[in-house]
Amino acid sequence: MNPKKVILIGAGNIGSRHLQALKEVKIPLEIFVVDPYQSSLSLAAERYESMPAGQLTHKVSYLNEIPSNLNKIDLAIIATCSDIRAEVVRRLFKKSKVKYLILEKLLFGKKRDYSSINTLLKKTKTKAWVNCPMRMMPFYAGIQPEFFGQAIFYNAVWSDYNLVTSAIHYLDHMVFLVGSDDFIINLDGLDPRPIPGKRQGFLDLAGAMHVLFKNGSVGDFICNKKGNIPSLVQFHCSKARCIVRETEGKAWVSRADGNWNWQEIGASIPFQSQLTTKLAEDILSKGTCQLTEYEQSAKIHLQLLEPLLKFLNKHSSKKFNYYPFT
């Protein structure tokens, strides 16, 4: 069996975790890891070697640029920052035919890239997904049918200054639970002062974000500026309610047909270094996966990022014509 060709562009923290997971894939792979920084490639190689040996030994190459001799790529994972991701996709597609594509979030820094990349994907008949993985985590996937299609109330609270970076995950999860991607966002609860993001040159925000879905569902995402509050996720509908303490790997569920008695359930949250194993195997063997397809994720992104851009420009002396988040 000829190995499947996988290219991973962006070997930083998240990219190197994708690479670790690829080591466990039970399909023969030839992996090309691309990053302009040698330090990132060295870290990725170190992390890959630290993983236990898988059933198969894959061939891995570490490169500073996209190779020109790859005519066909079975799976591409783009784990760069948002500001250069669209250009990286275009550069890759000029050099190779890509069958399947996984993009990290937040997707892109410019609004026009969302439609132009969608056009490119349709033209090349490339199937693409965006890595908001809550919907593929076993606990969240298992309980989703109990909430699907109903009006739900959803609340997520955490700290550590990363409201925008985390909100896309919770929004995507709400879409998954509700079965609708029609919503509007109220940002009156946000702190108007932007905060330096975790990655240099990017911004983030803190405070509260209120989300209203067309079907009556309501979401509140609250990021505290101070303290080290671990994340707490709660959601309920008329038939069931759920509390998840992700850092402890525990959830509590109560149901109307169980007299609303609480039941504790294990809810381990897999790392990216575990999730991508199943992700790659599903895509390469079945041509599908549990992640959000590109077109829907792009819509979710823009319904979040456009109000955030207006909010930022309203309160900032510097005016932005791009989304300064990643």
Residue 180: closest CA among 147, 153, 215 = 215
Please indicate, yes or no, if residue 299 is contained in any of the structural domains: no
Evaluate if residue 106 carries a pLDDT over 90: yes
CA distance 229 to 231: 6
One domain, residues 154 and 113:
no
Does an H or E element contain 123, and which? Answer: helix 111-124
One domain, residues 254 and 283:
no
**pLDDT at 79 (0 to 100):** 98
Residue 185: closest CA among 220, 155, 148, 225 = 220
Please indicate, yes or no, if residue 298 is contained in any of the structural domains: no
Please indicate, yes or no, if residue 322 is contained in any of the structural domains: no
One domain, residues 63 and 115:
yes
pLDDT tens per residue, range 32-56: 999 999 999 999 999 999 999 999 9
Please indicate, yes or no, if residue 281 is contained in any of the structural domains: yes
Evaluate if residue 28 carries a pLDDT over 80: yes
One domain, residues 144 and 119:
no
Tell me the pLDDT of the chain averaged across its residues: 96
Residue 172: closest CA among 249, 268, 103, 237 = 103
CATH number at residue 237: 3.30.360.10
**pLDDT at 197 (0 to 100):** 78
Please indicate, yes or no, if residue 320 is contained in any of the structural domains: no
Please indicate, yes or no, if residue 324 is contained in any of the structural domains: no
Exposure string of 98-137, with b = 16+ CB inside 10 Å and e = fewer, is bbbbbbbbbbbbebebbeebeebbeeeebbbbbbbbbbbb
One domain, residues 144 and 264:
yes
pLDDT tens per residue, range 289-311: 999 999 999 999 999 999 999 99
Arithmetic mean of pLDDT, 166-173: 97
One domain, residues 48 and 84:
yes
Arithmetic mean of pLDDT, 226-233: 89
One domain, residues 94 and 146:
no
- The band of 225, judged by pLDDT with boundaries at 50, 70 and 90, is confident
Beta partners for residue 160, in sequence order: none
Does an H or E element contain 315, and which? Answer: helix 294-315
One domain, residues 98 and 188:
no
pLDDT tens per residue, range 200-219: 888 989 999 999 999 999 99
**pLDDT at 133 (0 to 100):** 98
One domain, residues 23 and 125:
yes
CA distance 187 to 143: 29
* Percent of the chain whose predicted confidence (pLDDT) is above 90: 92
- State how many domains the chain has: 2
**pLDDT at 39 (0 to 100):** 96
One domain, residues 142 and 265:
yes
One domain, residues 109 and 165:
no
Please indicate, yes or no, if residue 57 is contained in any of the structural domains: yes
Please indicate, yes or no, if residue 318 is contained in any of the structural domains: no
Write out the residue range of the structural domain in which residue 212 sits: 138-269+305-312
CATH number at residue 127: 3.40.50.720
One domain, residues 281 and 260:
no
